[in-house]
Chain A
Amino acid sequence: MQQEHCVIVGGSHTAAQVVASLRLNKWEGRITVVSADGFLPYHRPPLSKTYLAGTRSLDEILIRPSVFYERSEAEVLLGTRVTAIDRANKKVHLDNQTDLTYTKLVLTTGAKVRKIDQPGHNLAGVFYLRDLSDVDHIREYLGHGKNAVIIGGGYIGLETAAALRGLGLTVTVLEAMPRVLQRVTAPEVSAFYTRVHAEEGVEILTGVTIQSIDGDKRVESVTCGDGKVINADLVVVGIGVLPDVDLAEQAGLTVNNGIVVDEYARTSDPDILAAGDCTFHYNPLYDRHLRLESVQNATDQARVVADTICGKLEAYNALPWFWSDQYDLKLQIAGLSQGFDQVVFRGSTETGRSFAAFYYQEGRLIAVDAINRPKEFMMSKKALVERKSPNPELVADESIDIKQVFQD
């Protein structure tokens, strides 16, 4: 009988977890990871935080050390791309002109950054922030007193702003929407982040479009739609990501806002699975299809992939959660707030740096943003999984212990 061979395309959180979970499940087939990245899978969240700030090194952000892959008997091909999938012959073609034959193929292709196309977007000193090498290049441009312009006031943009400010740069954030984090938080939370960034010396300009990026050989300034010119020694663009579905599309798999997978992480070809940022999948807790950009989804879906390959059909059923560290703010987000019709605050968003926002939809708790409120986060995570909704009046009353709030 032909030996089982699982080929994993992509080399990030999901890939590392698929390897770990397959071996934890005692799967004995051959495993090959094909990664375009030049490094073993590493934690991505620190890229815009501690790795950018220089307080954690590559070794400290590797998800697993090289010895883990050796012990797991997983071959990792770094700096190697899959150029096409041949479903009929169950093969993938690699850019080193070789083929790999698979019995199970796992697509963990992740996401690629959305790019800007204004004049000057190709100038030296204009960066995106997705891979480790992006940050290594950004770091070459850093220095006390230099001017950084961040395009995009989402989490990546704001985390980058905080890290660069901490390194002594002058930082301006340009956001096209009327407020930062508009897509993901309540207006009060956006206002809170704008206040803290101002207190830390970062200027945030909202409702701003980009006219051009200007400079001779390298970037010197950014011109806004209203004519305002901002000096820039470097520009970091963080305007979101798109799922990397190229291979899946070329292979004729069903793609719709990501690679469509069922609750067992199978694509429209049962021998091809997919997990992580690249997938469009059903979430039972929210009763809708989601595409998530998160470590949680990457690792939880990777476990489902491994189970499915091992013949244990365990449906994906996980609560989305996220975190963001900026300055001394630890934001922990449980659930998805999109579609909320009521938001209740525990603590003040206008003073201090600690509160939690509870999002409700038709009386049901759907998400919580907890800022320096680990207890609120932990209790909410449990409640959301159990589909319990604390009384909003009790939530808002800080004289009642948070554990009490969730008991009643």
Chain B
Amino acid sequence: MTQVTFIDPAGTEHQVEIENGTSLMQGAMDNGIDGIIAECGGACSCATCHCYVDEAWVAKVGEPSDIEKDMLECVLDPQPNSRLSCQIIIDDSLAGLVVTVPETQF
């Protein structure tokens, strides 16, 4: 298990434990984080699990794939630190990861 912090749009921090090998999105779903919708269940098809990775962690979580990049370009308010949380797989190296959930996914 790896500890991750989600910051919701109101600024409230939610510290959760996510099983290694599963996605950040799944961790959000399992812990009832409001604002991560994940309609497609992690198929990189819907872009409703968009989040902003804390600047200190951007390099550690790695680069998005081409398809993810294209999707991210078209989400509401894309930023250089935008990621789809279904494409971030949790492991020990991400212990302490901080991400912010956007106001809306649509």
Interface residues of A (CB under 8 A from B): 20, 23-24, 43, 45-46, 60-61, 63-65, 67-68, 71-72, 295-296, 299, 321, 323, 325, 330, 332, 372-375, 378-379, 382, 385, 403
Contact = CB atoms under 8 A, between A and B. Distances in A.
A45 B30 contact: no
Interface string B11-51: 00000000000100000011010100101110111110000
B59 interface: no
Contact of A24 (B34, B70, B73): B34
| 3 interchain residue pairs of minimum CB distance | A378-B74, A43-B41, A374-B70
B71 interface: yes
A370 to B, nearest CB: 10
Nearest to A296: B39
Contact of A63 (B22, B29, B71): B29
Contact of B45 (A20, A68, A323): A323
A378 B106 CA distance: 10
A299 B74 CA distance: 22
A71 B70 contact: no
B10 interface: no
29 contacts: A23-B32, A24-B34, A45-B40, A46-B41, A46-B43, A60-B22, A63-B29, A64-B30, A65-B30, A68-B29, A68-B32, A72-B32, A295-B39, A295-B40, A295-B41, A296-B39, A299-B39, A321-B46, A323-B45, A325-B45, A330-B67, A332-B45, A372-B67, A374-B70, A374-B71, A375-B70, A378-B75, A385-B106, A403-B74
Interface of B: 22, 29-30, 32, 34, 37, 39-41, 43-47, 67, 70-71, 73-75, 106
A323 B40 contact: yes
A320 to B, nearest CB: 12
B29 A64 contact: yes
B88 to A, nearest CB: 15
Contacts of B40: 45, 295, 323
A63 B41 contact: yes
B69 to A, nearest CB: 9
A61 B22 CA distance: 11
Contacts of A65: 30
Given A61-B41, A63-B41, A299-B39, A379 B30 contact: no
Contacts of B44: 330
A402 B74 CA distance: 10
A133 B45 CA distance: 25
Nearest to A65: B30
Contact of B74 (A63, A72, A375): A375
Contacts of B70: 373-375, 378
Given A20-B32, A63-B29, A68-B32, A325 B71 contact: no
A374 B75 CA distance: 11
A358 to B, nearest CB: 16
Contacts of B106: 385
A68 B67 contact: no
A378 B47 CA distance: 8
A67 B74 CA distance: 34
A64 B33 CA distance: 12
Contacts of B34: 24
